[in-house]
């Protein structure tokens, strides 16, 4: 079946602009995660959605970052007033919950460049 998809694959924006990054998880996966991969910080957790529960936002680096998940499926990560340090690859992963639900499957990522 289809894997996790993300769009756009690349995004170049100017400092101060807002950006939206989209993630389509694997169908039926109720858990969804956002991570960021940057040269200086490596791979780091940002936010986690599980079903209808309140998201775990403990990894968001500032209040300029937010995310939502509509209908328990598609998720959008929004970065407001982008800064150059926001330049990174943003990765989305989804996980099936239940007995076999210990593996996260990653999308190809969105490469964000803030000029």
Partner 1 sequence: AQSVTQLDSHVSVSEGTPVLLRCNYSSSYSPSLFWYVQHPNKGLQLLLKYTSAATLVKGINGFEAEFKKSETSFHLTKPSAHMSDAAEYFCVVSDRDYKLSFGAGTTVTVRA
Task: State the residues that interact with partner 1 by CB under 8 A.
Answer: 31, 33, 35, 42-45, 48, 50, 56, 59, 91, 93, 95, 101-109
| Separation between Cα atoms, residue 29 and residue 39, nearest integer Å | 29
| Separation between Cα atoms, residue 95 and residue 107, nearest integer Å | 12
Nearer residue to partner 1 within complex by CB, 29 or 114: 29
| Least Å from the CB of residue 75 to partner 1 | 15
Nearer residue to partner 1 within complex by CB, 25 or 109: 109
| Least Å from the CB of residue 110 to partner 1 | 11
Nearer residue to partner 1 within complex by CB, 7 or 50: 50
Nearer residue to partner 1 within complex by CB, 16 or 101: 101
| Least Å from the CB of residue 81 to partner 1 | 26
The neighbour count for residue 42, using CB atoms within 10 Å, is 9
Spell out the SS3 assignment of 62-111.
CCCEEEEECCCCCEEEEECCCCHHHCEEEEEEEECCCCCCCCEEECCCEE
């Amino acid at each position: 079946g289809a894997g996790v998809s993300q769009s756009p694959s690349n995004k170049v924006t100017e400092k101060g602009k807002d950006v939206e990054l989209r993630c389509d998880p694997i169908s039926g996966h109720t858990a969804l995660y956002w991570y960021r991969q940057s040269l200086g910080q490596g791979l780091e957790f940002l936010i986690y959605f599980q079903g209808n529960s309140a998201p775990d936002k403990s990894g968001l680096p500032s209040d300029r970052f937010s995310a939502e998940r509509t209908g328990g499926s598609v998720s959008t990560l929004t970065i407001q007033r982008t800064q150059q340090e926001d330049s990174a690859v943003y990765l989305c992963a989804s996980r099936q919950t239940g007995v076999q639900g210990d593996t996260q499957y990653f999308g190809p990522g969105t490469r964000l460049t803030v000029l």
